[in-house]
Structure 1
């Protein structure tokens, strides 16, 4: 059985896994992210290779933009020294193994298509609603990377022209309105109080409070889901996908808002479209990165 190292690099932690060719996780652990990142990453990979000498490859999913063909991180401002790093060539030289690298949201989408709730669909958009809004496009089983590794940056589609300033430097990007960060801002704007604590509500409690009838929470839920439905509709107008998979930290509370989102998307559909919840949670990026090698 082939064994692949799957690596998911986030802003605060790195998740490692050793994955079999059919997706079974043979080992799985997490360490803090440290910078400068590359030498730290190489050190960890060398340790994995010593512990698993029969590894056949290393797949890496990372935040930021990646040129998947060259294996170079083309854009990432938060991780010191990571932007511009030739990850593929350096790690291949250090390990003698095949290395593939892609954006973490793309890897999460690949996991859902190969192993999860998007199996059997040809054109899939995976939306990751966490701190920000990420996207991965998988058409006919292949990641759509774009010319510069920037395809699928759904969070930076402009939803409200001249709207809120985004971290990318532009105004009105979707992730300023559809994300955990957006929920936190909306809660402040609507002065949503958790009756159980008497304090400002937390994003993870917002949809439950709305379901329980808290007026301000209902207002926030309405604003959030209306914007979310518009994002999905706009993507369909451009991509004509047959399935949208929704995951990420905010989706953990989907029991309290899923049917309402479906209701809001329905009148905006241009063609038939399936919306499905992601099967994988935090392990999606690690599993999907391993799938880069299995491909």
Structure 2
């Protein structure tokens, strides 16, 4: 006996624990953003076991390849069963290729993000839109049937999840909520259209509006921009208008999709750029009453880790189902 335990039992228990530890399957999720790469290792059962952010100052394809190679080198001591890369942009499904304009990463188009992984790695790689992965992670945490996930940062991303499965649309382009036209012939958006929600409600949209009126505050980083809101009327005006446009655009989206859950996430919402109660109440006033009865709007539980966790969940599912990943 040792500390009240039978030694044979204790040895068997430790042996079983070690076997289980070895058998745990883990995945690498990489979330590409305009300012850096978030990445993490884990599984749906274990959650995130490791999470980190790698800043990227070389905004080029080769710079991106270098960052991914560095992440893989740092993860080499983990036995990984798959990799998922989340990226902004319109991604074809199931090919996994970014097509068309990618406003916040203009050089990162007409490419498969899976190609950032070095040749010769014998490991499955899957790809999806970053907002899709955020919505997937959040939907798997909550009791909902239809979940819409909105990321607010440099741009506005959107993912739609039905019964915990991503809805991609006919070719993979579903969920471009940032480009809902709120004001016909309104402000020019980076997508080339006029009057998009993103032109008013994204962080870059607010900065562009400040720049157009020659505001000295247009260059402030987001924390200082929000902190200065109460002191400077022009900042408060554009943030208030951004919130109102967001409510109008999302109300249109919710009237069509009838989600029971709307998740607001992204770096701007982590810093409370918009008041989530105002957004929820505003949307409820604009959608049909029957829709409003089952509608709720909440903060992203995973915060800025949601895209990474969603990638891990998606990669795990594809591996479990023994399907070919998008490459």
**2-structure distance, mates of 1:205, 1:282:** 19
- Pairwise mapping of residues 127-138 of structure 1 onto structure 2 (< 5 A)? 127-138=150-161
Change in 2 beyond 3 A, CA 1:243/1:21: closer
Deviation at 1:6, TM superposition (A): 0.7
Change in 2 beyond 3 A, CA 1:63/1:219: closer
Partner of 1:171: 194
| TM-score normalised by the chain length of structure 2 | 0.75
Change in 2 beyond 3 A, CA 1:87/1:192: closer
Structure 1 residues 41-75: Cα deviation after superposition (integer angstroms, max 9, x where no partner): 663465256322x2111111012122241222334
Q: In terms of Rg, which structure is larger?
A: 2
2:190–2:199: 8 Å Cα contact kept in structure 1? no
2:39–2:52: 8 Å Cα contact kept in structure 1? yes
Higher strand share: 1
1:2–1:21: 8 Å Cα contact kept in structure 2? no
Partner of 1:280: 302
Change in 2 beyond 3 A, CA 1:132/1:42: closer
**2-structure distance, mates of 1:218, 1:12:** 25
Partner of 1:55: 80
**2-structure distance, mates of 1:253, 1:148:** 34
Deviation at 1:4, TM superposition (A): 0.3
Partner of 2:61: 36
Matched position secondary structure for 1:94: coil
Deviation at 1:217, TM superposition (A): 5.2
RMSD over aligned Cα atoms: 3.1
Are 1:257 and 2:278 counterparts? Answer: no
Structure 2 gap ranges (5+): 1-23, 318-327
2:84–2:314: 8 Å Cα contact kept in structure 1? yes
| TM-score normalised by the chain length of structure 1 | 0.83
Deviation at 1:98, TM superposition (A): 2.0
Partner of 1:65: 90
Q: 1:17 aligns with which of 40, 49, 55?
A: 40
2:65–2:116: 8 Å Cα contact kept in structure 1? no
Matched position secondary structure for 2:191: coil
- Pairwise mapping of residues 145-224 of structure 1 onto structure 2 (< 5 A)? 145-187=168-210, 203-204=222-223, 216=234, 218-224=236-242
1:18–1:27: 8 Å Cα contact kept in structure 2? yes
Partner of 2:131: 105
Structure 1 residues 85-118: Cα deviation after superposition (integer angstroms, max 9, x where no partner): 3444785963222221001111111111123xxx
Q: 1:94 aligns with which of 85, 109, 120?
A: 120
1:8–1:14: 8 Å Cα contact kept in structure 2? yes
1:177–1:224: 8 Å Cα contact kept in structure 2? yes
Q: 1:231 aligns with which of 245, 249, 253?
A: 249
Partner of 2:109: 83
